[in-house]
Amino acid sequence: MNRLWTPWRLDYVSNASHSTASCIFCDALADIGNQPLVVHRGRSAFVILNKYPYNNGHLMVVFNRHIGRLADATPDELTEVMTLTRTSELVLTEAYHPHGFNTGLNIGKPAGAGVLDHLHVHIVPRWNGDTNFMTVTGETRVLPEELSQTASRLTPLFLRLAD
CATH of the domain at 51: 3.30.428.10
Catalytic annotation present for 120: yes
DSSP character at residue 17: T
Q: Could you tell me how far CA 37 lies from the centroid of its own chain?
A: 9
The conformational region for residue 112 under phi > 0 = left, psi -120 to 50 = alpha, else beta, is left
> Is residue 36 situated within a structural domain?
yes
DSSP letters along 23-70, please? -HHHHHHHTGGG-TTEEEE-SSEEEEE-SS-SSTT-EEEEESS--SSG
> Is residue 13 situated within a structural domain?
no
Among candidates 114, 138, 117, which has minimal Cα distance to 53? 114
**What pLDDT, on a 0 to 100 scale, did the predictor assign at position 137?**
46
> Is residue 153 situated within a structural domain?
yes
**What pLDDT, on a 0 to 100 scale, did the predictor assign at position 20?**
53
> Is residue 6 situated within a structural domain?
no
Per annotation, catalytic residue among 40, 58, 120, 122:
120
Q: Which domain holds residue 94?
A: 21-158
pTM value is 0.77
Neighbours of 141 (CB within 10 A): 19
Report the domain count for the chain. Answer: 1
Q: How far is CA 141 from CA 14, 131, 134, in A?
A: 18, 9, 6
> Is residue 127 situated within a structural domain?
yes
**What is the rounded CA–CA span in Å between residue 158 and residue 163?**
9
**What pLDDT, on a 0 to 100 scale, did the predictor assign at position 146?**
86
pLDDT (tens, 9 = 90+) of the chain, 163 residues, equals: 566 667 766 765 666 554 556 899 999 988 877 888 999 999 999 999 998 888 889 999 999 999 999 999 999 999 999 999 999 999 999 999 999 999 999 998 888 888 888 999 999 999 987 765 445 445 566 677 888 898 999 999 998 988 7
DSSP letters along 99-142, please? SEEEEE---SGGGT-SSTTS-EEEEEEE-TT-S-HHHHHH----
**What is the rounded CA–CA span in Å between residue 118 and residue 109?**
12
**What pLDDT, on a 0 to 100 scale, did the predictor assign at position 83?**
97
> Is residue 131 situated within a structural domain?
yes
> Is residue 5 situated within a structural domain?
no
